[in-house]
């Protein structure tokens, strides 16, 4: 069993839809959770960073962490064609020098105009 599971998609939605992207994990020690967005042939860019459980909102993006269920989500409101990309979840157990992240496989999202 992989430490982090993420549905690879592809996920196709119409413009303006609410998108829900999810990851599940098995390691209860994970405390730091991130979402990255990766456009085709580009490096991943950090979208959201959360510590422990709870919600965090940034514009059209909301990240949720449910540690009891070992489940994290990224919601995108009013989705735009420019949101079409691969979304990677990442997490780690420790803060410190190494900061090694465990990544999900990534979910490919297509927002159709």
Q: Which is nearer to another protein, 17 or 38 (CB)?
A: 38
CB of residue 24 to another protein, shortest distance in Å: 14
CA distance 55 to 26: 20
Interaction between residue 101 and another protein (CB under 8 A): yes
CA angle (20, 21, 26) in 5-degree steps: 130
Cβ atoms of 18 and 75 closer than 8 Å: yes
CB of residue 105 to another protein, shortest distance in Å: 4
Cβ atoms of 18 and 79 closer than 8 Å: yes
Interaction between residue 104 and another protein (CB under 8 A): yes
Interaction between residue 36 and another protein (CB under 8 A): yes
Build a one-symbol-per-residue string for 16-35: x at contacts with another protein by CB under 8 A, - elsewhere. Answer: ----------------x-x-
Contacts of 62 (CB under 8 A, 6+ apart): 55, 56, 74, 75, 77
Interface contacts to another protein, rule CB under 8 A: 8, 32, 34, 36, 41-46, 49, 88, 90, 92, 94-101, 103-106
């Amino acid at each position: 069993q992989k430490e982090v599971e993420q549905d690879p998609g592809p996920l196709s939605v119409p413009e303006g839809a609410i998108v829900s992207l999810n990851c599940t994990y098995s390691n209860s020690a994970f405390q730091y959770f991130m979402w990255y967005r990766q456009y085709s042939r580009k490096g991943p860019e950090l979208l959201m960073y959360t510590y422990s459980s709870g919600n965090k909102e940034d514009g059209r993006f909301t990240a949720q962490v449910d540690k009891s269920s070992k489940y994290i989500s990224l919601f995108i409101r009013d989705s735009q064609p420019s949101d079409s990309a691969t979304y990677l979840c990442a997490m780690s157990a420790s803060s410190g020098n190494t900061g090694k992240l465990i990544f999900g496989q990534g979910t490919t999202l297509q927002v159709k105009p």
